[in-house]
Amino acid sequence: MITLKNFIGGELCDPAHGNYLDNYNPSIGEVYAQIPDSSQEDLHAAVNAANAAFPMWSQLPIGERSKHLMKLADLIEANLDQLAAAESQDNGKPVSLARKVDIPRAAANFRFFAAAIVNDGTSAHIMEGQAVNYTRRAPLGVVGCISPWNLPLYLLTWKIAPALATGNCVIAKPSEVTPYTAHLLGELVQEAGIPAGVLNILHGRGAGIGQMLVDHADIKAISFTGGTSTGKVIARSAAEQFKKVSLELGGKNPVLVFDDCEFEEAVATSVRSAFTNQGEICLCGSRIFVQESIYNEFKEAFVSKVQKLKVGDPNTTVDMGPLVSREHLQKVKNHVDQAKKQGATILTGGEKIERKGYYFEPTVIEGMDEYCAINQEEVFGPVVTLVPFRDEADAIAKANSTVYGLAAVIWTNDLKCAHRVAHQIQSGIIWVNCWMLRDLRTPFGGMKASGVGREGGEEALRFFTEPQNICIKL
């Protein structure tokens, strides 16, 4: 049994009240770790440590801050094996995926923002003969970073890296469902020699320590990634104190397949975009709309590929591991059962896999229009629907028929059609003839109920700083 610790003031420490929560390995459904159930006392200690570190960290020359973050990136890479194994054990994702995507991306997040700050400029506005204005971007102070369980270290570091790079001190709250790599990150922060109090990590329940973090008067901003309903609670709480918030929320992403597309590539990538990480990625395409003229051909090829996906022990060569928790497995099953009751046709899958752990079959559904629950509610699992569309206008209307607006994929060889459709889809991210091709400089985030604000590149540097105009008379 592993006992995880909080990371406060540069030290790995037990929770003040000595309370712990069970942490499960979803591949076998057994408890393998205890995690701190943090309280106000832990939060106060973390806030004090962060406040004490802030003057020094924020005034450190950017080259020095950058070096610290580069060193941390190097250490993440050097510990790839241990971090990938921990991520897989905690979340259930195939260890091969954690090695290829999650952990390299965590290192890349630190490296990217470490480089960004030394290459960043500021703006000046000159009033000829009268004055010069320059914009100073000051760090906010102590900020909170709250992340979900699906891409644990990847998403936590996507927030921590720009926050630290811009001179803030951070209190991070990983999901209680997947805390292990955050715990290991604390050890690496120590090894990197990052000064005590600059990054603090508190474990525990969202509605407990998470909410306390959001409510604490000394926390100047909250960067949150998670579900839309949690985002609403956080937005309401933060509004009381006029806190800055960045909210990256749920999605119900459409994939539009036009009849002139590269057929094989569209099929293969749509399988990947539906089932990578067990479908537990906010960017997964869960509603596939296919032009009528190729619908049957696409369906046959798609279902045949899905039936070849290998589901099993994430430590072996598989395409999908278990879902993250017993509760989530039940939630996914409830969505599918509800669709069945409403008349859905299950083309493949649709059931739990009877074995130890939280496994669900990759599932393809048809026969439900875009307004049915299965096409409106986020399932966040290995479940995808196929729906035919007539023409461009019909495809756009169907794509925009939910409250969400995170990501969309368009498959076509007609460049003009791609532009026309992309401009009319209400999504923060549009991929044309690809999926999950990410450039960290681009704005990342959703429209409508998928979020408020953007992460990535300059957007993140702006979020974690306060602009101040300084006007000097000539």
Residue nearest to ligand NAP (CB): 206
CB hemisphere CA count around 147 (13 angstroms):
24
Q: Does 90 bind ligand NAP (CB under 6 A)?
A: no
Question: Which of 93, 129, 44 has its CA nearest to residue 322?
Answer: 93
Tell me how far, at minimum, the Cβ of 282 lies from ligand NAP, in Å. Answer: 3
Q: Does 366 bind ligand NAP (CB under 6 A)?
A: no
By CB under 6 A, which span of 224-232, 298-306, 350-358, 368-376 interacts with ligand NAP? 224-232
Report 268-327 residues binding ligand NAP (CB under 6 A).
282
Q: Please answer whether residues 91 and 150 qualify as being in contact, where contact means their C-beta atoms are separated by less than 8 angstroms.
A: yes
User: Cα(348)–Cα(300) distance, rounded to whole angstroms?
Assistant: 11
DSSP letters of 75-103? HHHHTHHHHHHHHHHHH---HHHIIIIIH
Neighbours of 122 (CB within 10 A): 9
Given 65, 68, 173, 335, the residue binding ligand NAP (CB under 6 A): 173
Listed in order, strand segments (DSSP E) in 352-419 are: 363-366, 383-389, 404-405, 407-411
Q: Does 459 bind ligand NAP (CB under 6 A)?
A: no
Neighbours of 42 (CB within 10 A): 25
**DSSP 8-state class, residue 38:** -
User: Cα(275)–Cα(107) distance, rounded to whole angstroms?
Assistant: 24
Given 176, 313, 319, 459, the residue binding ligand NAP (CB under 6 A): 176
Given 361, 378, 412, 459, the residue binding ligand NAP (CB under 6 A): 378
Tell me how far, at minimum, the Cβ of 204 lies from ligand NAP, in Å. Answer: 7
Question: Which of 193, 211, 190, 192 has its CA nearest to residue 202?
Answer: 211
Q: Please answer whether residues 227 and 250 qualify as being in contact, where contact means their C-beta atoms are separated by less than 8 angstroms.
A: yes
| Catalytic status, residue 248 | yes
Q: Please answer whether residues 335 and 379 qualify as being in contact, where contact means their C-beta atoms are separated by less than 8 angstroms.
A: yes
CB nearer ligand NAP, residue 147 or residue 181: 147
Tell me how far, at minimum, the Cβ of 281 lies from ligand NAP, in Å. Answer: 7
Q: Does 6 bind ligand NAP (CB under 6 A)?
A: no
CB nearer ligand NAP, residue 147 or residue 412: 147
Centroid of chain to Cα 17 = 30
Q: Does 162 bind ligand NAP (CB under 6 A)?
A: no
Tell me how far, at minimum, the Cβ of 265 lies from ligand NAP, in Å. Answer: 25
Q: Does 233 bind ligand NAP (CB under 6 A)?
A: yes
User: Cα(380)–Cα(12) distance, rounded to whole angstroms?
Assistant: 33
Given 210, 322, 382, 456, the residue binding ligand NAP (CB under 6 A): 210
| Catalytic status, residue 282 | yes
Tell me how far, at minimum, the Cβ of 184 lies from ligand NAP, in Å. Answer: 17
- For 332, residues 6+ apart whose C-beta sits below 8 A from its C-beta are 323, 360, 379, 380, 381, 382, 383
CB nearer ligand NAP, residue 172 or residue 266: 172
Q: Does 146 bind ligand NAP (CB under 6 A)?
A: yes
By CB under 6 A, which span of 26-34, 116-124, 171-179, 261-269 interacts with ligand NAP? 171-179
Given 45, 177, 202, 409, the residue binding ligand NAP (CB under 6 A): 177
| Secondary structure class of 70 (helix, strand, coil) | helix
Site string (13-52) toward ligand NAP, x via CB under 6 A:
----------------------------------------
Q: Do you know the residue count of the chain?
A: 474
By CB under 6 A, which span of 131-139, 146-154, 289-297, 346-354 interacts with ligand NAP? 146-154
How many binding residues for ligand NAP (CB under 6 A)?
32
CB nearer ligand NAP, residue 315 or residue 442: 442
Q: Does 108 bind ligand NAP (CB under 6 A)?
A: no
Report 398-417 residues binding ligand NAP (CB under 6 A).
406
Q: Does 234 bind ligand NAP (CB under 6 A)?
A: yes
Q: Beta strand 407-411 with 465-473: parallel, antiparallel or unpaired? A: unpaired
Given 91, 166, 225, 269, the residue binding ligand NAP (CB under 6 A): 225
Q: Please answer whether residues 92 and 26 qualify as being in contact, where contact means their C-beta atoms are separated by less than 8 angstroms.
A: yes
Largest CA distance in the chain: 78
Q: What residues are paired with 288 via a beta bridge?
A: 255, 386
Question: Which of 438, 431, 465, 428 has its CA nearest to residue 109?
Answer: 438
Q: Does 175 bind ligand NAP (CB under 6 A)?
A: yes
- Amino acid in the structure at residue 380: F
**Gyration radius of the chain's alpha carbons:** 23
CB nearer ligand NAP, residue 156 or residue 256: 156
Centroid of chain to Cα 452 = 14
User: Cα(156)–Cα(153) distance, rounded to whole angstroms?
Assistant: 5
Catalytic position from the list 282, 361, 455, 459: 282
Catalytic position from the list 176, 248, 361, 378: 248
Query: Which residues are known to be catalytic?
Result: 248, 282
Which residues in this chain contact ligand NAP in the complex, by CB under 6 A? 146-150, 155, 173, 175-177, 205-207, 210-211, 214, 225-227, 230, 233-234, 248-251, 282, 378, 380, 406, 446, 451
